[in-house]
Chains A and B, each alone.
Chain A
Amino acid sequence: MRMTKLLITMAGIVGLALVATSLERRTAGAQQPQTSGGSDRLVVQLCDGETKLEIAEARAGEILPPEKAREVARRMMAAYAEQQAKQVSKWTARDRLTWEREQKRVIEEGYKLFHDWKALGGTIGISCDMCHPDAAATHPETYPKFQTQLKRVAALRDMINWCIENPMKGKPLSPDDPRMIALEAYITSERKGVPLDPGKH
């Protein structure tokens, strides 16, 4: 997320530089100055693609001298800074949408793997859902806990891999395998709201 943020800021600065340059050169670009309905004032747009700034002392289409163009750029930066100061959360609606969509996508991927022995590398026709309809009896909220049969404290993913290797006769997944993460996402989503109780037997 921090990286994205940095990129947006950099893009903003580059954008502003472009605006300034384009104003000087009278060329059209992505940040092309616009006129707003009826008014002949110069209107520039901030790099969020929404906020517009009217420059009172410049006309639309006017060729700005470097001094004036730099002043416009300064005002745009100020408007951006003001916007930043007003925003309480650093996360935007777009971020929230991304979270939701990605979560849903990974849960759905997990659901598919959970119900498809071939996709998960099983070899004898047994899929997870055959013993765990709706991920029942997986109780992810009880891990990590001591697993008598493994003789150690095990995580949910250890149990997932155990099931892949034994009843399903497949090959275990690496812990960072996207399929493992998808399975965890689906299994835990089915127990959403159940209080965490690690160690429960």
Chain B
Amino acid sequence: MWPLKWKKREQEYRRQREEFFEAVKRLNRRDFLKVAGLSAAVFTAKTVVPPHSFQVVDVVRAEPQEKPLFRFAYISDTHLYERELNERFVNAALRAVRDVNALNPPPDFVLFGGDLAQLGQPKELELGKQILSELKVPVKMMVGEHDWFLDMGEKWRELFGPENYSFDHKGVHFIVLMSVNEKDFWTERGMTPMERMLTVAQLDNPLQSRFEVGEEGREWLRRDLAKVSKDTPIIIFSHSPLYKYYRPWNFWTEDAEAIHEMLFPFKSVTVIHGHTHQLLTHRIQNIHFHGMLATAWPWPYAPEGLPKLTVPMERPDPFDEADGTGWGSVDVHRDGYVDKHYSLWSRNPITVAKAYLESWGKEAIPPAPEFPPY
């Protein structure tokens, strides 16, 4: 057994760490010094161990060149089971809802990024709807493969409406695009709906097909875009990244190129996607891509194919179940391009600025991790 002295020191350290993270969530200029002092105390309590990444050493914030037009927040990939089976994921979702509700000023709306449920069960989806109903601002729903493949979206549509839709907000055209369709792999194998669901729910299961918007979805998108002038900024929400990152895990959209072709004529296009549970940044010509954090758990980075502009997040500490997870917000500028904020629960928040992507990674570079992925 460890000497009592060490145990006490450890407890003290945990208490201060907790306090620090509580404080950092409400960080503003006035409180900054207070929090920095707290983090120094945590550092002192640790004594032998070298400084951890959560110590606020310095905060360098580039002054924004212009005030953003508006802000929206996101919560994504909650992967809810029924509460009786798994409380952890429920609590994480509730935490994100509380955090978003605490934003001051409140965001214009909240995007839910898909994978509300773990296995598409009606009770899981209903629980999700109940949790999200606590949000004080309007919610824009997007579907994920975990919500879809038990009943092919039947319950989802009943609860949340169509899977493809668009809306306009303060001069920006928003499109919610269902990108996780799969070609039928289940009929010839005689799979039950639950077998189909479990196959898709397993990221590394090679039996399933690759994600795609599909012919119908592309046609819907073509018609929707036809109504929009080429100068109108466009922001697309898709569950899968609308590009090709890593095929074996469906970090991938099979018909991405066809979608890009439709988007190249527009002046400004931003895609915000879920599914990957990690910091992801990519740019193809005029299209900026940003990933979203999950509340449930972080995925590791894929062994290959990581977009060059991505500065990966440091690998999460498995002993801290909140590490690598969180929620986020998006500041939309007048031209439609965005500053993407990742509100990591156990780390300092990270911003991937519009300037970083506009300069192809030369300016406003996000902080690099000290311990990159293996």
Kindly identify which residue among B85, B300, B303, B373 contacts A132, using a CB–CB cutoff of 8 Å.
B300
Q: Let me know if B167 is at the binding interface, CB within 8 A.
A: no
Mark interface residues in A89-130 (1 if CB within 8 Å of B CB, else 0): 000000000000000000000000001000000001110011
Nearest-Cβ distance from residue A108 to partner chain B, whole angstroms:
14
> What class of interface size applies to chain B in its complex with A?
20 to 34
- Residues in A with CB closer than 8 Å to B49 are 148
Q: Let me know if A155 is at the binding interface, CB within 8 A.
A: no
- Residues in A with CB closer than 8 Å to B298 are 131
Given contacts A125-B81, A125-B118, contact A133 B300 (CB under 8 A): yes
Nearest-Cβ distance from residue A129 to partner chain B, whole angstroms:
6
Interface size counted on chain A using CB atoms at 8 A:
22
**Which residues, 199 to 252 on B, are CB-close (under 8 Å) to A?**
202-204, 248-249
**Which residues, 145 to 198 on A, are CB-close (under 8 Å) to B?**
148-149, 151, 162-163, 166-167
In Å, the complex CA distance between A176 and B49 comes to 34
In Å, the complex CA distance between A142 and B203 comes to 25
- Residues in A with CB closer than 8 Å to B118 are 125
- Residues in A with CB closer than 8 Å to B204 are 129, 133-134
- Residues in B with CB closer than 8 Å to A88 are none
Kindly identify which residue among B300, B317, B321 contacts A167, using a CB–CB cutoff of 8 Å.
B321
Nearest-Cβ distance from residue B228 to partner chain A, whole angstroms:
37
Nearest-Cβ distance from residue B250 to partner chain A, whole angstroms:
10
Nearest-Cβ distance from residue A199 to partner chain B, whole angstroms:
14
Q: Let me know if B86 is at the binding interface, CB within 8 A.
A: yes
Q: Which partner residue on chain A sits nearest B277 by CB separation?
A: A131
Q: Which partner residue on chain A sits nearest B201 by CB separation?
A: A130
- Residues in A with CB closer than 8 Å to B303 are 134, 136
- Residues in B with CB closer than 8 Å to A142 are 374
Q: Which partner residue on chain B sits nearest A141 by CB separation?
A: B374
Kindly identify which residue among A126, A131, A149, A162 contacts B317, using a CB–CB cutoff of 8 Å.
A149
Q: Which partner residue on chain A sits nearest B6 by CB separation?
A: A151
Cross-chain contact A115 with B374 (CB below 8 angstroms): no
- Residues in B with CB closer than 8 Å to A115 are 202
Q: Let me know if B345 is at the binding interface, CB within 8 A.
A: no
- Residues in B with CB closer than 8 Å to A151 are 2
Q: Let me know if A201 is at the binding interface, CB within 8 A.
A: yes
In Å, the complex CA distance between A201 and B321 comes to 19
Q: Which partner residue on chain A sits nearest B251 by CB separation?
A: A133
In Å, the complex CA distance between A20 and B162 comes to 86
Q: Let me know if A137 is at the binding interface, CB within 8 A.
A: yes
Q: Let me know if B173 is at the binding interface, CB within 8 A.
A: no
Q: Which partner residue on chain A sits nearest B249 by CB separation?
A: A133
Cross-chain contact B88 with A163 (CB below 8 angstroms): no
Q: Let me know if B299 is at the binding interface, CB within 8 A.
A: yes
- Residues in B with CB closer than 8 Å to A162 are 318
Nearest-Cβ distance from residue A10 to partner chain B, whole angstroms:
47
Going nearest first, the 8 A-B pairs with the smallest beta carbon separation are: A137-B300, A133-B204, A149-B319, A133-B203, A136-B300, A124-B86, A139-B374, A134-B204
> Known pairs A125-B86, A132-B300. 5 more at Cβ < 8 A?
A115-B202, A125-B118, A133-B204, A139-B374, A148-B49
